Every structure is written in structure tokens, then in C-alpha cells.
């Protein structure tokens, strides 16, 4: 949902390929205002309005963009989908998304609808799902002197989706 940015060592004739020489974190975005990273919507805006060049890194399977001495590597809908398939192929328990608000949350910048990356994650993972088999274990514990009068109730849910993605959810009441 975001990209890492760098300032290339040379402004003209710079090595724009991944692993090219850089001299530090890229300039801050208009909204994120921090050096070294841009939100997905800021990247879309730079590509559309400032005509950044885009290329695709076949080894890492992600896009990158650059203009003059500014360079960013990021995820788009295609690279996010490939990562979802990787999660499934390795039978991982899940994946983490760093920050939802770095996606194009209102659809104003990328012309891909609201939350285009998160939507692609959901659609891809949904397409990989099979029937779910819920298992529910319910336990209630009453207050005792040992727990100083507190009582609690918790439920443990395990959802297995075709034995590919076990999801653990703890619910405390």
C-alpha cells in the first residue's frame, strides 16, 4: 500500500534499475510528509500528473517509477495479486498489510475505485478459498478470590479454509 523512495546519485543519465546507486531517502510526499516512502495514491498522482516513468522488475515482480533523481518501488494490483498467490502456494497462515490508509481509500488518485489494492487482496484471497470448517471451543470462568473478583468469558475460533489459511481469532468478552 506504499512505496519506498530513494534519491538517485545522478540526476541525468541515472541508473534507474533496481539496486542502482542512491544517496538517501526520497523526497517526502504531499500527504505522507516523510522522507523515504510514499503512499500508493501519492505514487499514482506522480505517475499521472508529473509523468513519472514506470517499469517492471521481473525478478522482484513489482513495479517501480522514477523521474530525474527520484525513484520509488511499490506494489500495484498485479504485484499484490502475485503476493496473495505466493501466500497460498507456501500455505502461510496469512499476510500483513502495514497500513490501510496508504491505499487510494477514496478512489481519487489512481482511477481504480476505492481501496484498489485492498480490494484486489480480498478478491484474490476469496478466489482461493474453499469451503470453511469452523471449530468453536467455548469456555467460561467465574470470578474467584485468586483473580480479584474479575470474571471473563472468552471464545476461541479456528477457521480453516481448505487447510490453506488457518485464522486464529480470540474474542474476549
* Domain architecture of the chain: domains with CATH: 2-128 (3.10.50.10), 132-172 (no CATH)
Tell me, what's the pLDDT at 165? 38
3-state secondary structure of 54: strand
DSSP alpha helices (H): ranges in 1-142?
A: 40-49, 77-89, 116-128
Q: Residue 140's closest CA among 129, 128, 150, 130?
A: 150
CA angle, corner 48, sides to 44 and 50, nearest 5? Answer: 105
Tell me, what's the pLDDT at 80? 95
> 59-81 burial by CB neighbour count: b if 16+ within 10 A, else e?
eeebbbbbeebbbbbbbbbebbb
Phi, psi for residue 44 in degrees, rounded to 5:
-55, -45
Tell me, what's the pLDDT at 140? 54
How is residue 138 written as a grid cell? 467455548
Tell me, what's the pLDDT at 97? 87
d(CA 167, CA 173) in angstroms, rounded, equals 19
User: What is the dihedral sign for C-alpha 68, 25, 45, 80?
Assistant: positive
120 HSE (CA, 13 A, CB side): 19
pLDDT (tens place) for every residue of the chain, 173 residues total: 899 999 999 887 778 888 889 999 999 999 999 999 999 999 999 999 999 999 999 999 999 999 999 999 999 999 999 999 999 899 888 788 888 899 999 999 999 999 999 999 999 988 887 555 555 555 555 544 454 443 333 333 333 333 333 333 333 33
Tell me, what's the pLDDT at 167? 39
Tell me, what's the pLDDT at 147? 45
Tell me, what's the pLDDT at 66? 96
How is residue 32 written as a grid cell? 505522507
d(CA 22, CA 24) in angstroms, rounded, equals 6
DSSP alpha helices (H): ranges in the chain?
A: 40-49, 77-89, 116-128
Amino acid at each position: 500500500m506504499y512505496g519506498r523512495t530513494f534519491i538517485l546519485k545522478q540526476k541525468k543519465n541515472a541508473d534507474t534499475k533496481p539496486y542502482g546507486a542512491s544517496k538517501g531517502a526520497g523526497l517526502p510526499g504531499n500527504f505522507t510528509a516523510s522522507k523515504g516512502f510514499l503512499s500508493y495514491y501519492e505514487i499514482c498522482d506522480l505517475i499521472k500528473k508529473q509523468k513519472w516513468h514506470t517499469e517492471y522488475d521481473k525478478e522482484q515482480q513489482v513495479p517501480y517509477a522514477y523521474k530525474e533523481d527520484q525513484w520509488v518501488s511499490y506494489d500495484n494490483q498485479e504485484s499484490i495479486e502475485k503476493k496473495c498467490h505466493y501466500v497460498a502456494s507456501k500455505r502461510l497462515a496469512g499476510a500483513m498489510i502495514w497500513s490501510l490508509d496508504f491505499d487510494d481509500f477514496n478512489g481519487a488518485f489512481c482511477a481504480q475505485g476505492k481501496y484498489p489494492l485492498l480490494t484486489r487482496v480480498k478478491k484474490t484471497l476469496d478466489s482461493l478459498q474453499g469451503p470453511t470448517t469452523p471449530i468453536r471451543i467455548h469456555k467460561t470462568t467465574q470470578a474467584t478470590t485468586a483473580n480479584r473478583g474479575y470474571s471473563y468469558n472468552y471464545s476461541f475460533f479456528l477457521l480453516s479454509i481448505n487447510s490453506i489459511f488457518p485464522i486464529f481469532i480470540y474474542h474476549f468478552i
